[in-house]
Chains A and B, each alone.
Chain A
């Protein structure tokens, strides 16, 4: 249908976006790949060629790397568990006929719009501070010893903060999905004597499966690169150093660019594995 003329016009209109994204993706990535093969430490003035895979071997064989992988997985797993389970529960609750549904919805999604540095600082100081935080006040009120959350349970605290930020995202998407559920199916099941658990297990959950997959994958992409929350709260101390934070420390704080770049490339590869799965799910939707 489209004429030759409109086709070339279309190509011209796409060109700036494609060109910019291509440059944005390729140039830094190629530089990182190159740096990862060098002994590049700006503070010592070294910029020596041909480490080969030495940086990779050194990065992967350090215990910090495996600790960071473990921390990343714990953070990811904890946040995903809380947000997906909590999100399903909240979505079902908000789907019920209740008074003031619109307002409750607004209250629930609000944390998503709070900038990461603000939420991290508010939680760190006003809630988790062992002297003046609200949690400490509450603990003292019931006669318990106040807890220094961010040094005694650092990872758990960060999981809590990040879950608070991402619960609205999961809830909002799952709520949208639940609302597209055909209520007739539900009524039919009810008439056939299916209890609330059977209805949830056989109708709601299968219907939500795709949305849950999308939530898990998108959150994974974003959570793998969590930065501000750690930067502001613990600065990577007390076993809260994720892979992203480890790379940041190597490159910026200790200025070992070669080693850090190797870590960066490893992070890129790991993220790409998740991304590839996400793309297949999103891509299927394009054909519809």
Chain B
């Protein structure tokens, strides 16, 4: 009897959850479907869902007409470059705060977090001015640095919470065996921290890829990544649903896949360790 009730409950909840899940996912599904339609079917009324002639034409057109590859390359360079640089700077900092904490460590961590909360628009003009003076407006180097800096607090925090879970006794044991600081980091800590570092890298790539304030306000042509490329479709003459969908699908696909792999770590990273 009790078992029948739970099965019934399970069916109801399953139907409900799937229904809501599909509803939330629908705009993405619709974008992906539309990217395989012709422009005429894309705006057909009533809308067509699956029974249309699938075509790859939009993907070809987007790549040929719009220099898509350059924007894609910029996105990749910005995301990977800023992540690599950020990890390089954050690992030693997080290491020292996790294993050699001082009275000030907590305040330093909180202060780092506070830099993340500065509204970007408040410093937009000076940053632009500095970049113009340096001849670096619309350059990838400048954006790599800026994206690295805006995500650095999150990287340090995330690594810090991972490093703190590594038992300090292991390091002491290594030290007793005569390991130098370099050995300690390279052969003891790094292998244990690899999963944590990997998820930090993943989250940072996602954040850098989707960043849409600095990438929109500091680029024009040369350094513009996919965020800016998509925004250029907002002008009325760019109203081609199928092509917009193809461009969008290409822009979000890699990150969607990465995001699904990193969903657990995401919580930790975005709440600065407050929720694990």
Residues of chain B with a CB closer than 8 A to A64's CB: none
> DSSP majority for the B interface?
helix
Within 8 A of B (CB), among A20-74: 20-21, 24-25, 27-29, 31-32, 35
Known: A172-B267, A231-B231. A141 touches B46 (CB 8 A): yes
Question: Once the chains bind, are A2 and B125 in contact (CB under 8 Å)?
Answer: no
Cβ of B56 < 8 Å from any Cβ of A? no
Known: A17-B156, A31-B129. A126 touches B30 (CB 8 A): yes
Question: Once the chains bind, are A164 and B212 in contact (CB under 8 Å)?
Answer: no
Question: Once the chains bind, are B226 and A115 in contact (CB under 8 Å)?
Answer: yes
Q: What string of 1s and 0s marks CB contacts (under 8 Å) between B97-119 and chain A?
A: 10110100010111011111111
Cβ of A189 < 8 Å from any Cβ of B? no
Question: Once the chains bind, are A211 and B119 in contact (CB under 8 Å)?
Answer: no
Question: Once the chains bind, are B25 and A14 in contact (CB under 8 Å)?
Answer: no
Question: Which residues from chain B sit less than 8 Å from chain A, CB to CB?
Answer: 6, 9-10, 13-14, 16-18, 20-22, 24-25, 27-28, 30-31, 34, 43, 45-47, 89-90, 92-93, 95-97, 99-100, 102, 106, 108-110, 112-127, 129-130, 149, 152-153, 156, 181, 206, 209-210, 212-213, 216-217, 226-228, 230-231, 233-234, 239, 241, 244-245, 248, 251-252, 255-256, 258-260, 263, 266-267, 270-276
Q: How far is the CB of A157 from chain B (nearest CB, A)?
A: 13
Question: Once the chains bind, are A111 and B93 in contact (CB under 8 Å)?
Answer: no
Say which residue of A11, A120, A218 sits within 8 Å of B96 (CB atoms): A11
Distance, CA A134 to CA B106, complexed state (A): 51
Question: Which residues from chain A sit less than 8 Å from chain B, CB to CB?
Answer: 2, 6-7, 9-11, 13-14, 16-18, 20-21, 24-25, 27-29, 31-32, 35, 90, 93-94, 96-101, 103-127, 132, 134, 137, 140-141, 164, 167-169, 172-173, 176-177, 210-211, 214, 218, 221, 224-225, 227-228, 231-233, 244, 247-248, 251-252, 257, 260-261, 264-265, 267-268, 271-272, 274-275, 278-279, 281-283, 285-287
Known: A14-B96, A21-B112, A134-B47. A268 touches B118 (CB 8 A): yes
Question: Once the chains bind, are A93 and B17 in contact (CB under 8 Å)?
Answer: yes
Q: Closest residue of chain A to B31, judged by CB?
A: A122
Residues of chain B with a CB closer than 8 A to A109's CB: 259-260, 263
Q: Closest residue of chain A to B256, judged by CB?
A: A113
Residues of chain A with a CB closer than 8 A to B100's CB: 2, 6-7, 9-10
Distance, CA A1 to CA B273, complexed state (A): 26
Known: A126-B34, A137-B46, A167-B24. A271 touches B119 (CB 8 A): yes
Q: How far is the CB of A201 from chain B (nearest CB, A)?
A: 20
Q: How far is the CB of A145 from chain B (nearest CB, A)?
A: 15
Question: Once the chains bind, are A110 and B28 in contact (CB under 8 Å)?
Answer: yes
